[in-house]
């Protein structure tokens, strides 16, 4: 177990930064904004950042690195695949609720949908995420696909997964920026909400950087079993 201590340190750091991102998002909407609700007002919109950061950033990041946890290497591959797919499924459900909240809010206030770059990148990556999840379940989790097909698709699955995760982070940063320009009249005057929310954006970038580092270290990959 090469570099186990280093792995633990990075794992704990990434979980802390990811969790802190969720807490910061909650403080943002509960303290600086109007709070949470489900009534077509800004309270309903506020679920959008909370659920996106929780599901699309934090939970997706954990789902990406589950195979890297050395103490799971003795667990069955099928169990680990189920946890990987299960966490991505939970994230996808939160993401869909987050989308409903923003469309609901727009429609209630007759705000146009899908005009911003944030919404184009965001919706594209949601569609890709759901496709990636369904393809992953059918090709890797269910027992029908032949090994040759799995081996062929695996590099694309890994590449797409990381591309999606990175693009989600870009979309979140655009969304945060967009919201601050809408909501703050004096963003350029360094108001506390602006500084706090810029910090949230940086935390999310650091979380992405840590997850990307963990998942790309060859020594922390689950040892490959023959015929799997």
Is 223 a residue that touches ligand ASC (CB under 6 A)? no
For ligand ASC, give the closer residue by CB, 131 or 154.
154
DSSP states of 44-77: HHTHHHHHIIIIIIIIHHHHHHGGG-GGGTTS-H
Q: In 3-state terms, what secondary structure has residue 135? A: helix
- List all residues 6 or more positions away from 194 whose beta carbon is below 8 Å from its beta carbon: 180, 184, 187
In the complex, what is the shortest distance from the CB of residue 211 to ligand ASC, in angstroms, rounded to a whole number?
20
Nearest residue to 161 via CA among 22, 227, 62: 62
Least separation in angstroms between CB 141 and ligand ASC: 8
Which CB atom, from 185 or from 227, has the smaller least distance to ligand ASC?
227
Given candidates 77, 100, 184, 198, which one binds ligand ASC under the rule CB under 6 A? 77
> Smaller CB distance to ligand ASC: residue 40 or 70?
70
**228 is an interface residue for ligand ASC by CB under 6 A:** yes
**What is the distance, to the nearest Å, from the Cα of residue 88 to the centroid of all Cα atoms in its chain?**
9
The CA distances from residue 139 to 66, 146, 153, in Å, are: 19, 8, 8
Tell me how many residues contact ligand ASC (CB under 6 A): 7
CB nearer to ligand ASC: pick between 151 and 195: 151
Among 30, 108, 154, 202, binds ligand ASC (CB under 6 A): 154
Q: Which of 140, 165, 207, 220 binds ligand ASC (CB under 6 A)?
A: 140
Closer CB to ligand ASC, 24 or 220, in the complex: 220
Should residue 218 be labelled a site residue for ligand ASC when binding is judged by CB under 6 A? no
Whole-number Å distance between alpha carbons of 146 and 159: 21
Classify the C-alpha dihedral 175-177-178-183 as positive or negative: positive
Read off φ and ψ for residue 190, nearest 5 degrees.
55, 50
Smallest distance, ligand ASC to C-beta of residue 140, A: 4
In DSSP notation, 160-181 reads: HHHHHHHHHHHHHHHHHHHHHH
Q: How far is the CB of 154 from ligand ASC (least distance, A)?
A: 4
Q: Which of 147, 188, 190, 226 binds ligand ASC (CB under 6 A)?
A: 147
Which residues would be at the binding site for ligand ASC (CB under 6 A)? 77, 140, 147, 150-151, 154, 228
């Amino acid at each position: 177990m090469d570099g186990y201590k280093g792995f633990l340190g990075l794992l704990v750091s990434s979980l802390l930064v990811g969790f802190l991102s969720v807490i910061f998002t909650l403080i943002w909407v509960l303290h600086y904004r109007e709070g949470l609700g489900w009534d077509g007002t800004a309270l309903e919109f506020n679920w959008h950042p909370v659920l996106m950061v929780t599901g699309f950033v934090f939970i997706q990041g954990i789902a990406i690195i589950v195979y890297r946890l050395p103490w799971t290497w003795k667990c069955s591959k099928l169990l680990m695949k189920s946890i990987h797919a299960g966490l991505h499924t939970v994230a996808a459900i939160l993401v869909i609720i987050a989308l409903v909240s923003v469309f609901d809010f727009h429609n209630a206030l007759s705000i146009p949908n899908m005009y911003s770059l944030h919404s184009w990148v965001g919706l594209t990556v949601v569609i890709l995420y759901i496709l990636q999840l369904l393809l992953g379940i059918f090709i890797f989790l269910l027992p029908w696909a032949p090994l040759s097909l799995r081996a062929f698709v695996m590099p694309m699955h890994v590449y797409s997964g990381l591309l999606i995760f990175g693009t989600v982070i870009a979309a979140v940063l655009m969304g945060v920026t967009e919201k601050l320009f809408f909501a703050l009249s004096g963003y350029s005057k360094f108001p506390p909400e602006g500084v706090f929310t810029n910090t949230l954006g940086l935390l999310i970038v650091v979380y992405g950087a840590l997850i990307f580092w963990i998942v790309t270290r060859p020594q922390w990959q689950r040892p490959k079993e023959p015929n799997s």
